[in-house]
Structure 1
Amino acid sequence: MTHSPDDEAKLVMLYVTVPDMACGKAIARSAVSHKLAACANILPVMTAIYQWQGVLEEGNEAVLLLKTRQTLVVALMEHVVNQHPYDTPCIMELPLGRINGGYATWLTAQLQ
């Protein structure tokens, strides 16, 4: 059985780019231990291409995915910004569609 976001407190995911796995792990551990995120996943390597101060940049980064309730997003974003080494970190809230029931229940329980 699946749950839609209206079935329980609305669940969301934050997409955060970080310079490397070590940074991602540090932010993830802190967010989960403070119960701002129920779970974190880190994708170790991606290529980022962007303009920074008028210069085309390209480099490797990691992606940190943080699963949480919508009511915790502002606090979680502030927490990430305070620990993030970038001047302008990428932190985006992604709405979630359907989630399998057992996982949604577990996720919600971790945030209480």
Structure 2
Amino acid sequence: MANTPDHADIVQIATTFDAVEEAEALSRSVVEARLAACAQTDGPITSVFRWDGAVQTEQEWRVTFRTTAALAEQLVEHIVREHSYDVPEVVVTPVVGGHEAYLEWVRDETRSLP
């Protein structure tokens, strides 16, 4: 993507849930609080992981939030506080490019209202 602006201010934050209802409820609370411009739920997906000394296989739903780097820490804290898991997966990934109008929409939707 030649001549694209620096998008270091936009990030994606992903987490997983064992119930679609919890995924949707947290997504709504995050967007309503303007901590993210949007949340997308994928699933069900199959997760295989080690927990309590045993390999587990579980069905989960992945939620990906689009937000600004400035709000990332606050959003991570919100997810961890509201999540039902003892140790929820929360991964922040920088956005390195994309459609500038969409990225500007993310910025606009995460600004506080006057």
TM-score, normalised with respect to structure 1: 0.92
Q: Deviations over 1:33-56 (max 9, x none)?
A: 001011100002110001111111
What residue in structure 2 maps to residue 76 of structure 1? 75
The change in CA–CA distance for 1:103 and 1:2 in structure 2 (over 3 A counts) is farther
Q: How does 1:79-90 map to 2 (within 5 A)?
A: 79-90=78-89
Work out the CA distance in 1 between the residues paired with 2:105 and 2:72.
Answer: 18
* Conserved 8 A contact 1:20-1:44: no
Q: If each structure's strand is expressed as a fraction of its own residues, which one has the higher value?
A: 1
Runs of 4+ aligned residues of structure 1 deviating over 3 Å after TM superposition are 1-4
CA distance in 1 between partners of 2:78 and 2:102 (Å): 24
CA RMSD after TM alignment: 1.3
Write the mapping of 1:33-48 to structure 2, written as runs, cut at 5 A. Answer: 33-48=32-47
How many pairs are equivalent?
109
C-alpha separation in 2, matches of 1:94 and 1:100: 17
| Matched residue, 1:13 | 12
| Identity over aligned pairs, percent | 27
Q: Which runs of 5+ in 2 are unaligned?
A: none
- Give the structure-2-normalised TM-score: 0.90
Cα distance in 2 for partners of 1:2, 1:83 equals 36
